[in-house]
Structure 1
């Protein structure tokens, strides 16, 4: 069981409930279990989405009928695998990872899942890679350094189309997102990210708080109404 990113006195109960729902609704296939095990073995931080969150991304893709997905922040490819498997055979994921070591592990996991031909993994700073990508994407999942979330949002809109879905992860951070006096650069980045979304007439968005094996966190989700 992972150590929650944002624990509380109820963390154990939240994790137990997550495990129960995961068993019923999001049982991990062997390639997903392999990815998590390999990530730990290779020393990657346990910042992957949970199984239920991976299933949520999978459902978003199916509901939006996405065939081109952009992921900013690969880590070990666990969420990449969830999303790629949710798409039809002609669907593809373009994912960006800053760390060469993380990218190497992600390629192992993606290969083990038999998805190499459907995933394009770029290694480097996302703000260097994003200008080189061909638009549009149907769904953009933002899950990298939160300091740059405002920049990632601008690129997500630029690389999307009307009706595209944008999902931002780790947007609650144990409740710290509401701390206007925070000196944490990640909190500052997230607050600016949310403010930008709230003021952008091209977007229609909401936020959802989550509790579970990762502790107290959440997502911001938006649909692009216009470009």
Structure 2
């Protein structure tokens, strides 16, 4: 989803950091072999995720929704040398695909794959998180938020993808559209939670940056 003209979007991409060769290869294979390749973060958003991670310089990252591993590799670029990125997905068919690219990267020792429902896996993780990226099934966004908000370190960052949902968040709600309903609830949670500072960016399909406030 693009909210600016294709020409302006192309200009922004052309004047941003280049896509690393391994991620170009991952993109190409995703489009060749995987259903719904548009779910990929892609060059421009991937560079944004990389930049945010580098600014945060996290020790521990949690990613909810791995898909083919593109966003995980972007986020890993900002990890501390001995940091860890936990990435969770329910699609068993993509595990080997993800691992192929994780192993080919310089972050193979830093990325830990988890297979199964995130609502079950997150409670089993012991760490607190410096950076969290949510890009999974939309109906569970509010539930994911409830699980992770108290485990984000003060000053830590929560990134939430697809929060504009192709513009459906400002359209009349279809009573059967559970994804849009959940995103409306989720966006309200982020905007109103006193523990967070939140900015919703009109990047691609909507990307929210929320910062956990540091107690005074």
Fold agreement, TM-score > 0.5: yes
Q: Note the alpha carbon deviations across 1:35-82, whole angstroms, 9 max, x for none.
A: 112222332422111211111111111222212111000000001111
2:129 equivalent to 1:137:
yes
2:27 equivalent to 1:36:
yes
Per the alignment, residue 188 of structure 1 pairs with 181
Aligned residues: 213
Per the alignment, residue 25 of structure 1 pairs with 16
Per the alignment, residue 177 of structure 1 pairs with 169
Displacement over 6 Å in runs of 4+: none
Aligned match for 2:109, one of 108, 111, 117: 117
**SS of the counterpart of 1:66?**
coil
Are the counterparts in 1 of residues 57 and 78 from structure 2 also a CA contact under 8 Å?
Answer: no
What's the CA shift for 1:185?
A: 1.1
Deviates more, 1:140-149 or 1:196-205: 196-205
Are the counterparts in 2 of residues 42 and 105 from structure 1 also a CA contact under 8 Å?
Answer: no
What's the CA shift for 1:226?
A: 5.4
**SS of the counterpart of 2:202?**
strand
Kindly report the root-mean-square deviation, in angstroms, between the aligned alpha carbons of the 2 structures.
2.0
Are the counterparts in 2 of residues 44 and 102 from structure 1 also a CA contact under 8 Å?
Answer: no
Highest RCO, 1 vs 2 (Cα 8 Å, sep ≥ 6): 1
Aligned match for 1:197, one of 190, 195, 201: 190
Per the alignment, residue 154 of structure 1 pairs with 146
Q: How does 1:52-63 map to 2 (within 5 A)?
A: 52-63=44-55
Aligned match for 2:62, one of 70, 78, 84: 70
Deviates more, 1:172-181 or 1:56-65: 172-181
What's the CA shift for 1:7?
A: 6.7
**SS of the counterpart of 2:180?**
helix
Question: Structure 1: which 5+ runs fail to align?
Answer: 1-5, 212-216
Per the alignment, residue 212 of structure 2 pairs with 224
Question: Structure 2: which 5+ runs fail to align?
Answer: none
Are the counterparts in 2 of residues 44 and 76 from structure 1 also a CA contact under 8 Å?
Answer: no
Are the counterparts in 2 of residues 97 and 125 from structure 1 also a CA contact under 8 Å?
Answer: yes
What's the CA shift for 1:150?
A: 0.1
Q: Note the alpha carbon deviations across 1:109-130, whole angstroms, 9 max, x for none.
A: 1112242211001011111111
Deviates more, 1:18-27 or 1:66-75: 18-27
Are the counterparts in 2 of residues 203 and 226 from structure 1 also a CA contact under 8 Å?
Answer: no
TM-score if structure 1 supplies the norm length?
A: 0.86
